[in-house]
Amino acid sequence: MNAQLQFRDLTLGYDRHPAVHHLNGAIASGALVAVVGPNGAGKSTLFKGIVGLLTPLAGRIELAGLKRRDIAYLPQVADIDRSFPINVYDMVAMGLWRSTGLLGGVRGKSAEIHHAIEAVGLTGFEDRPIGTLSGGQMQRVLFARLLLQDARLIVLDEPFNAVDAKTVADLCALVQRWHGEERTVIAALHDLDLVRANFPEALLLARAPVAWGATAEVLTPGNLLKARQMCEAFDPEAHECHIDVA
Amino acid sequence: MPYDVLIAPFAEFDFMRRALVGTLALALGAGPIGVILMLRRMSLMGDAMAHAILPGAAVGFLVAGLNLFAMSAGGLVAGLLVAVLAGVVARATELKEDASLAAFFLVSLALGVTIVSARGTNIDLLHFLFGNVLGLDTATLMLIAAISTLSLLVLALIWRPLVLECVDPGFLRSISRAGAPVHIAFLGLVVLNLVGGFQALGTLLAVGLMMVPAVTARFWARDISTMLAVAVGVGVLSGYVGLLLSFHAGVAAGPAIILVAGALCLGSVLIGPVGGVVRPLFPKQHLEA
């Protein structure tokens, strides 16, 4: 197995309180992994750690030669100013940053941009300001931008929230396409049926990892129950953690 | 006599020509910066920065009198200092940028007025607060023109990350580390333009040619490129009409320019095609799709 991502005794959290506790394991290059777990299980925290927005409290994440621009990240709550006067075309074109940088031209890449917009089913929306889009359409725009990012590792934090079934199916097809292109995809999801149908590998997380492996073996009723019980409440009086992992 | 009213004042009087060139240059550089400030919800930040340059300019005045270089350099240093401090505080702590700037705002104004009053006369103080657009000498014009040129060049260079940081700061952070340097460079441009505007319009109104045209532009455009063009156009028009108004009606030139911009802004709030007040009062039949 050619590991793309390696977690070594990784602890991530806020103000010394761990949200992901002593995680060990690896994600193979080209893997398609669902991260499942109750709210507060540390899914988003883990993703922030992977993309470098959060520094580990302990342990480390090894990215096997991936640079920042090789990673595409779709946050759970994108911090997007929807009132900003920018249209769908320009918003999608931002995904080309990796190849254009500050001053590189995008004019020669308009076919590529139109292609990405077509792939998410938004042809004809190019000139629409992003403020006029529905929630599902906006999510499609963000996926089109991800397409252009041409990243080797794609991290999706609950990408299908508040999105209708048709949109989920369309966007899921894109995820499968990325998988076919041997990109590594990690997605946090709550719809277990969707995970079973589309994701060969799953990590069940409840602050600490509960189970990790083939989806069918991870998402058992026993494991899911365990995950619900493990994710206890925040303890303001918690003591210092002294687990030693060799 | 349209010629007598519209052109003659500039054809006949050197100081009017200089004032016109100065305001045109200011409008060109400050308009786009104002649009970005507005879109980032930092409209009042320009105001705060304009106050921040006052004590620096006042120290320059204290040292060298009404000397362009000393006052500009002092203002630049003070403005950059406050901009960087406020930016660093906002990024390093939980404090939002507006809050950290507000803390510097009135203190700077009070400090500046105190320093100027300590040495200068009330005329000097008026010059500091409201500028002297009809008294621009060649060196000042060169300074303003240089600042505008530099602003447009730097804006062109940092435009993408600047827009990205407005629309989707999280995305910019995930693909590039350019966010912080670009932000600092932009704040530097704000300060530079205010230092330029300070000579013409004074500390209290320098920000006027930056923000009022930008706010006006919002009512005329749905995309940012058009918005920039409208903002510059409104600034240029305000400068021209304001100077004419000042010439013919004998009112103070700096305030006249900002008042004209204000009138254009008010008109746009009312009849602007994008979100103006009047249009929804006369609804048309909705479309089929």
Higher pLDDT, A161 or A203: A203
Cβ atoms within 10 A of the Cβ of A127, count? 11
Q: Which of B282, B13, B22, B270 is nearest to B143 (CA)?
A: B22
The two three-digit tokens of residue A176, written as one number: 């499968």
Starting at the edge strand that comes first in sequence, how are the strands of the sheet with A58-62 ordered?
A17-28, A3-14, A58-62
CA B59 to chain centroid, in Å, comes to: 22
Report the half-sphere exposure of B174 (CA within 13 A, side-chain side): 26
The two three-digit tokens of residue A115, written as one number: 């292609």
Q: What's the pLDDT score for residue A246?
A: 46
Instruction: Supply the DSSP string of A110-124, one letter for each residue.
Output: HHHHHHHHHHTT-TT
Task: Give chain A positions within 8 Å (CB) of B177.
Answer: 68
Given CB atoms, is B6 within the 8 Å cutoff of chain A?
no
Helices B43-64 and B122-130: angle between axes, nearest 10 degrees: 150
Task: Assess whether pLDDT exceeds 80 at residue A123.
Answer: yes
Higher pLDDT, B5 or A162: B5
Given CB atoms, is A73 within the 8 Å cutoff of chain B?
yes
Instruction: Say whether B168 and A149 touch across the interface (CB within 8 A).
Output: no
Instruction: Say whether B157 and A94 touch across the interface (CB within 8 A).
Output: no
- Residue B35 to residue B219: CA distance in whole angstroms: 12
> Which of A53, A75, A81 is facing B167, going by the closest CB pair?
A81
For residues A201-215, give the mean pLDDT: 91
Given CB atoms, is B210 within the 8 Å cutoff of chain A?
no
Say if residues B5 and B244 touch (Cβ distance below 8 Å). Answer: yes
Q: What's the pLDDT score for residue B38?
A: 93
Encode pLDDT of B227-254 as tens digits: 999 999 999 999 999 999 999 999 999 9
- Residue B199 to residue B53: CA distance in whole angstroms: 12
Residue ranges for chain B with pLDDT beneath 70 = 97
> Which of A69, A71, A79 is facing B168, going by the closest CB pair?
A79
Q: How many residues does chain A have?
A: 246
> Which of B157, B170, B227 is facing A78, going by the closest CB pair?
B170
The overall pTM is greater than 0.90: no
Instruction: Say whether A97 and B160 touch across the interface (CB within 8 A).
Output: yes
Say if residues A223 and A211 touch (Cβ distance below 8 Å). Answer: yes
- Mean of all residue pLDDT scores within chain A: 88
Residues 6+ apart with CB under 8 A from B248: B5, B9
Q: How far is CA B132 from CA A223, B105, B125, B127, B241, in A?
A: 76, 23, 11, 6, 17
Q: Which B-chain residues 19-78 have CB contacts (< 8 A) with chain A?
A: 39
- Residue B62 to residue B73: CA distance in whole angstroms: 13
Encode pLDDT of A12-55 as tens digits: 988 888 888 889 999 999 999 999 998 888 999 999 999 888 88
